[in-house]
Chain A
Amino acid sequence: MQWFFDALNFITGLGATVMLPIVLFLIGLILGAKPARAFRAAVTIGVAFVGINLVIGLLTGSLGPAAQAMATRTGVKMDIVDVGWPAAAAIAFGGEVGKWIIPLALGVNILMLLIKATKTLNVDIWNFWHFAFTGGLVYWATNNMALSLAVAALNAAIALFLADWTAPGVQKLYGLPGISIPHGFTAAYVPFGIPLNMLIDKIPGLNKLEADPETIRKRFGVIGEPMVMGVILGIIIGMLAYLGDAAVGTLGVQIQKILALAISLGAVMLLMPRMVSILMEGLIPISQAAGEFMQRRFQGGTFYIGLDSAVLVGHPSAIALGLILSPITIALAIGLSALGVNRVLPFADLAVLPFLLAMVAPVTRGNIVRGSIIGTIVIALGLIIGTVMAPAHTGAAIAANFTMPFAGATISSICDGTNPLTFLLYSMTRGGGGLGWILWAVGVVVLGGVIYLYKKNSVKWEAIAGGPQPEEVAEEEGELVRV
């Protein structure tokens, strides 16, 4: 029997860079990918993890100490480094839950299609990481694998419902017939956007305002580029942390440190996405095989095809909104930190802000002024959530074999560390045990009830989410495609 435990210990000791490629290789084969392709893909994923780990090290190693120095000198305590969604995705896929998320989320989708609880055939395998992330946080808190997988599955089911609900509005605003967006981050803000938009409708003056996206984009120019934004933030943070501090060294040494920090942060902004693109490349053969597998199973049916919200953010209003929200996010972080409720230092995920409201945009009809107001509210809330969830986020990262540069370093990411849906699911089940399962079951029942109500009155629901008004709908609600 001893050999069995030795083998088990050996396997768990391999870590994300070895274990995940092996698991994904097997999943690829089961879904019908060619062995040579699946092997190359699996190795690519392992390599990507090594790369992402290097860049997280660079980021937390350079920004972490600077943030702490800044906190001590200015009293603005923002010592939780925002490592960004690329790192969060790697943490999610690299964790225990992440290894099983592809078959799990596919299973949830198949089940919901069979019982006609969704119309979305989700082929966006990459974004399963959001569900794995939530599950990973729960696993960190409870050490209960079954419950963690169950929470991840519930998250996947909620995303499918949100995708169905918002599909007509998204299709109309973005001109994407047959598409829905079961995205764990972008879709999560729709339930917030709708009431806030209704509230704005009631405020005289405010309900008439609008801004032109093109002008906003031109105003920001080169600063809008993540790499340049990284360098500028690096100089500002560096000055607050090191300038005029004799303990650091002479003025020359201080300036050296500031400029080194600035270039390092510019490097992170450029390199992190590149590393994730390698991870993405490795997942392609597997996600393709999974997509084809799903389409074979449901041949002849009509569906929405579920895609990444990246297909939305090219819209001028999404880009403009992302640019406006960057300084707002930093200002909020400083303000809330002064109030003692935020410790997150927004950085790498400033680049992800266009995603935040891409699915709320149909609700506001693409109105940027409204987007900015709603964005300000959800980001403020998000920073507080991010501060609360940072220990779990950091714990999940360590569990996935990512190295923290120094003891006590804490990380977060705007996507999904500040995601209210992730927070809700995590808070409900983090206690684990019987109560965790009961609250999970409540979540399932509530979702079932909501889907039932939505299906009974879908046209009205969809109109609220930015779809065509009931009187505009002749016979069909959203455009479906035949697979």
Chain B
Amino acid sequence: MAGKPKTILVACGTGIATSTVVANLVEEALRDRGFNIHVKQCKVAEVQAHLDGVDLIVTTTQLSGNFGVPIIKTLAFLTGIGKEDALKQIIDALNTAKV
């Protein structure tokens, strides 16, 4: 899949703990499916500051506000339950995101 890499911002409470897990798993899964993506991490409180070039936000905790990009809140990558559904949601959101 050619074209400009899509950027996913993974946000959690610490910007360290759960977001590292999710960022790693999402990146690995999407690379395996041939997506050209770039994954960034941050704290939910810092989302506004990291929004440049972001196509999609994935968060493990509550994220309030409108950032102009789709937000997917999921715990599937942490619990291991419903992982495939969450991945599908992310892929759908990336495919429909503006280039």
- Give the interface of A toward B (CB within 8 A): 86, 123-124, 126, 174-176, 178-179, 217, 224-225, 273, 276-277, 280-281, 284, 287-288, 291-292, 295, 305, 307-316, 318-319, 354-355, 481, 483
User: Which of B14-22, B29-37, B87-95 is the interface stretch?
Assistant: B14-22
Q: Smallest distance from the beta carbon of B45 to chain A beta carbons, Å?
A: 5
Residues of chain B lying within 8 A (CB to CB) of residue A316: 62, 64
If A284-B21, A310-B18 touch, does A315 touch B41 (CB 8 Å cutoff)?
A: no
Query: Separation in Å of the B21 CB from the closest CB of chain A?
Result: 6
Tell me whether B24 and A310 are in contact (CB under 8 A).
Answer: no
B7 at interface, CB cutoff 8 A: no
What's the nearest-Cβ distance from chain B to residue A368, in Å?
15
B11 at the interface (CB under 8 A from A): yes
CB <8 Å contact, B13 and A354: yes
Using CB atoms and an 8 Å cutoff, list the residues of chain B in contact with chain A.
Answer: 11-21, 24-25, 41, 44-46, 49, 59-64, 75, 78-81
15 contacts between A and B (CB under 8 A): A123-B78, A174-B62, A175-B62, A179-B75, A225-B49, A281-B24, A284-B21, A292-B80, A305-B79, A307-B79, A310-B13, A310-B16, A314-B62, A318-B13, A483-B81
Q: How far is the CA of A310 from the CA of B19 in the complex (A)?
A: 9
Q: Report the nearest B residue to A291, measured CB to CB.
A: B80
Q: How far is the CA of A339 from the CA of B21 in the complex (A)?
A: 44
Query: A481, B79: Cβ atoms under 8 Å?
Result: yes
Contact assessment for A310 and B17 in the assembled complex, using a CB-CB cutoff below 8 Å: yes
Q: How far is the CB of B69 from chain A (nearest CB, A)?
A: 17
Q: Which residue of A lies closest to B45 (CB)?
A: A319
Are B16 and A314 in contact, with the CB atoms below 8 A?
A: no
The complex places the Cα of A483 from the Cα of B17 at a distance, in Å, of 23
Query: Closest Cβ of chain A: how far from B96's Cβ, in Å?
Result: 25
| A311-B60, A313-B61, A319-B45 known; A273+B14 contact, CB < 8 A | yes
Of B49, B63, B79, B80, the most chain A CB neighbours within 10 A belong to B79
Cα A224 to Cα B17 in complex, Å, equals: 19
Option from B44, B49, B78 in Cβ contact (under 8 Å) with A314: B44
Known A-B contacts A217-B45, A314-B62, A314-B63; the reply to A276 vs B16 at CB < 8 A is yes
A159 to chain B, nearest CB (A): 16
- A314 engages B15 (CB within 8 Å): no
**Closest beta carbon of chain B to A284's beta carbon, Å:** 5
CA distance A273 to B12 in the complex (A): 13
Contact (Cβ within 8 A) A311 B20:
no
Q: Is the CB of A123 within 8 A of B62?
A: no
Residues of A contacting B79 in the complex (Cβ-Cβ under 8 angstroms): 123, 178-179, 305, 307, 481
Q: Pick from B19, B20, B21, B45 the residue with the most CB of A within 10 Å.
A: B45
CB distance from B76 to the nearest CB of A (A): 10
